[in-house]
């Protein structure tokens, strides 16, 4: 695993996103360092969720560049948005999490399963059967 760039956990430059004729994100650039808490404020429909969805790659931005911990997750080539290659992207995606507005818990999972699924998936790697490992996540 590549060394974390801790001074610059997230860096984006020139993010653009439109829905049809409606240009929502116009050239957004920002950076997030370690231990920083950033709030994005704005009226309803101003693009807060769209920005977060672009950053978490649930939505494909129309342009710009995006780095997580110094690794390039997205860039623009000849006017088209390109994501990093799949294995790399999978690793990059494990660097961040997202808490949804309406939680989106999995109703068919138990409470325990809902809590441990994220850290378990992100770091358990090959040791998928280890109950103790799951337990240790809980104790933390």
Partner 1 sequence: MFGSEKKTPPFLKRIVSAVVAAASAACLALGAVTCSAEKGKTFTVGFDAEFPPYGYKDDNGEYVGFDLDLAQEVCDRNGWELVKQPIDWDSKDMELKTGAIDCIWNGFTMNGRESAYTWSTPYVNNSQVVVVKKGAGIDRLSDLSGKIVAVQADSSALAAFTGAEAEEENKQLAESFSELQQVGDYNSAFMNLESGAVDAVCLDYGIANYQVSSRGDAFVMLDEVVSSEEYGIGFLLGNTELRDRVQTTLLQMLDDGTFMRIADKWELGSSVCLSADSAYIDSVNSDIEKQSFGSLLGEISGELAKGLLASLSIFILTLVIALPLGLLISFGRISKHKLLNIPLTIYISIMRGTPLMLQLLVVFFGPYFVFGIQTSASYRFIAVIIGFSLNYAAYFAEIWRGGIQAVPRGQYEAAEILGYSRVQAFFRIGFPQTVKNILPAVTNEVITLVKDTSLAFAVAYTEMFTIAKQVAAAKTTILPLFIAGLFYYVLNFIVAFVMNRLEKKLSYFR
Told to check if 100 binds partner 1 by CB under 8 A, we report yes
By beta-carbon proximity to partner 1, the closer residue of 30 and 58 is 58
Q: Is 104 in the site for partner 1 (CB under 8 A)?
A: yes
DSSP summary character for residue 62: S
In the shown chain, the binding pattern of residues 19 to 58 toward partner 1, with x for contact by CB under 8 A and - for none, equals: -------------------------------------x-x
24-33 long-range contacts, Cβ below 8 Å, gap at least 24?
Answer: 24/50, 25/50, 25/51, 25/54, 25/61, 27/64, 28/64, 29/64, 32/8, 33/6, 33/7, 33/8, 33/9
Binding site for partner 1 (CB under 8 A): 56, 58, 90, 93-94, 97-98, 100, 102, 104, 106-108, 117-118, 121-122
């Amino acid at each position: 695993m590549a060394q974390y760039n801790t001074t610059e956990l997230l860096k984006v430059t020139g993010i653009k996103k439109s829905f049809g004729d409606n240009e929502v994100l116009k050239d957004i650039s920002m950076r997030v360092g370690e231990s920083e808490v950033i709030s994005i404020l704005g009226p309803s429909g101003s693009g807060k969720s769209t920005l977060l969805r672009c950053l978490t790659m649930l939505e494909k931005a129309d342009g710009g560049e995006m780095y997580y911990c110094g690794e390039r997750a997205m860039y623009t080539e000849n006017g088209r948005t390109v994501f990093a290659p799949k294995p790399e992207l999978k690793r990059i995606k494990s660097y961040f999490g997202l808490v949804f507005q309406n939680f989106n818990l999995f109703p068919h999972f138990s409470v325990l399963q809902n809590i441990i699924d994220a850290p378990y998936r992100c770091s358990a790697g090959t040791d998928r059967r280890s109950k103790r490992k799951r337990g240790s996540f809980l104790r933390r």
